[in-house]
Structure 1
Amino acid sequence: MTLPTTTRQFSYSKFGSYNNLVLQEVPLAAPKANEVLVKTHAVSLQFRDLMIPQGTYPGFLEKNLVPCSDMAGEVIAVGSDVKQWHVGDRVSPNFMLDKLHEEVSPEILNSALGGAVHGVLTEYRTFPAHSLVKIPAHFSYEEAATLPCAAVTAYNAMLGGFDPIKAGDTILVIGTGGVSIFALQFAVASGATVIAISSSDEKLKVATKLGAKHVINYKTTPNWDEEVLKLTGGVGVDRVLEVSGNSTLARSIGSVRLGGSVDLIGAVGGLTNNPPADFVLLAIFKGIHLRGVYVGSVKQYKDMNKLIEANPEATRPVIDKVFAFEEATAAFACLESQAHVGKVVIKF
């Protein structure tokens, strides 16, 4: 086949807002010896994709950045040294292109798509062969595009650390966004009991359908940590998936058992609301583990896919809305509204 020599992509003419995204056609180079050229079929969005143009995401950002980290696509060409991939393979890149295992370095951190290097909101892109993972055979491209950041992060939090969840554990999941929904699904598939909290009864109905045993509306039950303790007989949960950040951290610590874990995922609740000053003392007194989770590795991505393939119905991605490629800014606006459950996807 004749390979494309150009690609249409969105990039930032300047930061400040996702409304500054510009659609352009740019030259496309052929893959180098160790690279794979992939045709994009779908991209999913993360909260990070809103933070970056607003200037609230830490770290170096590529000039004229092509945003987004999560895609699924089809291999259309491979470099001369590539043996593990073939034309027609259905693949997805890891969030950090060079994070193969658990080790981390500044260089590995700076291989994160849609930030320190150009992202995937483009029709075609080359990737290092080592960064790619085969997507589950029973997933559509839209479903597979939700995996690299949200699902791998959830898997790392639930099953990738020093103390993976096990059957019989009780897990508290905050919110019903992409990471939270995947964490709920992976916990249920692992035999754990899930308590889910959200601001919407309609969203909590989805959580219940996915297997949450208990649900709490934090708008009608603002002291939800006290309710969690009641539901657990005063003991607390084994693990909390904390996605909101400073605004909920103190209550998350209050919800966890002695010696339990709080996995710090994001800051959806904002960075300006400081938690009460005594939360550090409470964390020390309870002897809990606070673990920062920054997505995961290629190995974890592959391990996660085994869990997904072994539990095909329980782990099917929840997609709220799908937008056309040309409607990318509308997809960003949908994500910003936080009215969605699960993932927002852009289809090519």
Structure 2
Amino acid sequence: MPDMMKQWVVQGTDGAESLHLREVPIPVPGDYEVLVKFHAASLNYRDIMISTGTYVWTAQDGIVPGSDAAGTVQIAGPKVTRFSAGARVSPIFHLTHLYGRFQEHDFASSLGAKHDGVFQEYAVFNEQSCVEIPSHLSFREAATLPCAGVTAWNALYGGPRALKPGETVLTQGSGGVSVFAVQFGKMGGAEVISTTSGSEKAEKLKGLGADNVINYTEDERWGETAKTLSRKGRGADFIIEIGGASTMVQSTQAVAIDGQIAVIGRRAGKGFSDGGDGTHSTSVSTIRRVLVGSRQLHEEMNVAIEVNGLRPVVDERVFGLGELREALRYFETGRHFGKVVVDFE
């Protein structure tokens, strides 16, 4: 193995210009740790916020960005029992959130904000903070799962009640979480209604199984339309709420009685004060703040993906590790469909 590796860090708040590539020594794992060589990593909207200083939680200056990656265990510490050298793994999003409800102390373990992230060639993790990736997926595909995949899975299967066959799911847009929600919804036997801004993306969503797609730029009352399109007009049992203040009114128009609105991310979370994975009720539905998910949910999702042969949707643009700035700029335009992935080789 080489002695040095490439590593990106965030210094400043100028977006892509805040990203700086440097060379540092490759770390050495301890007794209960594994050294992972990354092969691919994907971007999330939080990476933009961290690089611009607008993230809802404080990120350390000089942090290695990124939370989603897939790689190979190069060295396993002498007391490691979960993995051996050669295992294909991903680190989990919050390194200490292994099961159950999210706790306040788990914030300190978030990759790419409080803890050095994945846009580096190698990293060391405690063995408990990694999961085996689905056997049929490439590293590019598996690198899309830790944040967007687990968030969508949690929204549909990790809350007060899980999605049942025949229920209705409403998704917003064509970003990573929404696309996964379409796939996971259909995998669970649901009726899926999606919104998007253009005909090309609409066709792609239908290709993934969406039963109906609404162009929200042409239909300002798309919430009412979605409810009308749902089975017997009863509304959506699960809504993947991405847009926040700009879309919440329509979501409340679309939701079924006793339905669940899963509030995703900073944009959707603005104005909601729930910490972690809290829920609170309105007169006819539950609004639930979703903050990725535990290792247990991650592993349950991976099993379902493997059994069903599901393949994550990766955007057609390809970037190398040295092109992280370009990848972030492209991601910020919103032209992508599915996940934007960076290849390390």
Identify the TM-score tier after normalising by the shorter chain: over 0.9
Matches within 5 A, 1:158-307: 158-232=156-230, 233-268=232-267, 286-307=283-304
Report SS of the residue matched to 2:60. coil
Match of 1:38 in 2: 36
The alignment yields a C-alpha RMSD, in angstroms, of 1.8
TM-aligned CA deviation for residue 229 of structure 1: 2.1
Report SS of the residue matched to 1:240. strand
Question: Does the aligned pair in 2 maintain the 1:41–1:347 contact within 8 Å?
Answer: yes
- Structure 1's consecutive aligned runs of 4 or more residues displaced over 4 angstroms after TM superposition are 267-271
CA pair 198-331 structure 1, distance change in 2 beyond 3 A: same
Question: Does the aligned pair in 2 maintain the 1:143–1:319 contact within 8 Å?
Answer: no
CA deviations on 1:41-90 (whole Å, 9 max, x unpaired) are: 00000011111122221223123011000000011001121122111111
1:325 aligns with 2:321: yes
Distance (whole Å) between structure 1 residues aligned to residue 90 and residue 135 of structure 2:
12
Distance (whole Å) between structure 1 residues aligned to residue 11 and residue 75 of structure 2:
30
TM-aligned CA deviation for residue 267 of structure 1: 4.3
TM-aligned CA deviation for residue 104 of structure 1: 2.5
Match of 1:279 in 2: none
TM-aligned CA deviation for residue 288 of structure 1: 0.8
Matches within 5 A, 1:5-84: 5-84=3-82
Question: Does the aligned pair in 1 maintain the 2:256–2:284 contact within 8 Å?
Answer: no
Q: How many residues align?
A: 336
TM-aligned CA deviation for residue 266 of structure 1: 2.2
TM-aligned CA deviation for residue 169 of structure 1: 0.2
Amino acid at match of 1:136: P
CA pair 69-255 structure 1, distance change in 2 beyond 3 A: same
1:308 aligns with 2:305: yes
Report SS of the residue matched to 1:203. helix
Amino acid at match of 2:241: E
Amino acid at match of 1:201: S
Q: How does the TM-score come out when normalised to structure 1? A: 0.92
TM-aligned CA deviation for residue 14 of structure 1: 1.6
Report SS of the residue matched to 2:287. strand
Distance (whole Å) between structure 1 residues aligned to residue 58 and residue 11 of structure 2:
17
Identity of aligned residues (%): 40
Q: Which 10-residue stretch deviates more, 179-188 or 219-228? A: 219-228
CA deviations on 1:97-119 (whole Å, 9 max, x unpaired) are: 11100233222121010001111
Report SS of the residue matched to 2:114. coil
Match of 1:143 in 2: 141
Distance (whole Å) between structure 1 residues aligned to residue 266 and residue 173 of structure 2:
12
Equivalent of 1:156, from 140, 154, 157?
A: 154
TM-aligned CA deviation for residue 32 of structure 1: 1.0
Equivalent of 2:331, from 328, 335, 343?
A: 335
Amino acid at match of 1:332: L
Q: How does the TM-score come out when normalised to structure 2? A: 0.93
Question: Does the aligned pair in 1 maintain the 2:257–2:284 contact within 8 Å?
Answer: yes
TM-aligned CA deviation for residue 28 of structure 1: 2.4
TM-aligned CA deviation for residue 268 of structure 1: 4.7
Distance (whole Å) between structure 2 residues aligned to residue 175 and residue 268 of structure 1:
13
Match of 1:4 in 2: 2
Distance (whole Å) between structure 2 residues aligned to residue 130 and residue 56 of structure 1:
30
Distance (whole Å) between structure 1 residues aligned to residue 287 and residue 135 of structure 2:
35
Distance (whole Å) between structure 2 residues aligned to residue 11 and residue 51 of structure 1:
14
Report SS of the residue matched to 2:318. strand
Distance (whole Å) between structure 2 residues aligned to residue 293 and residue 38 of structure 1:
28
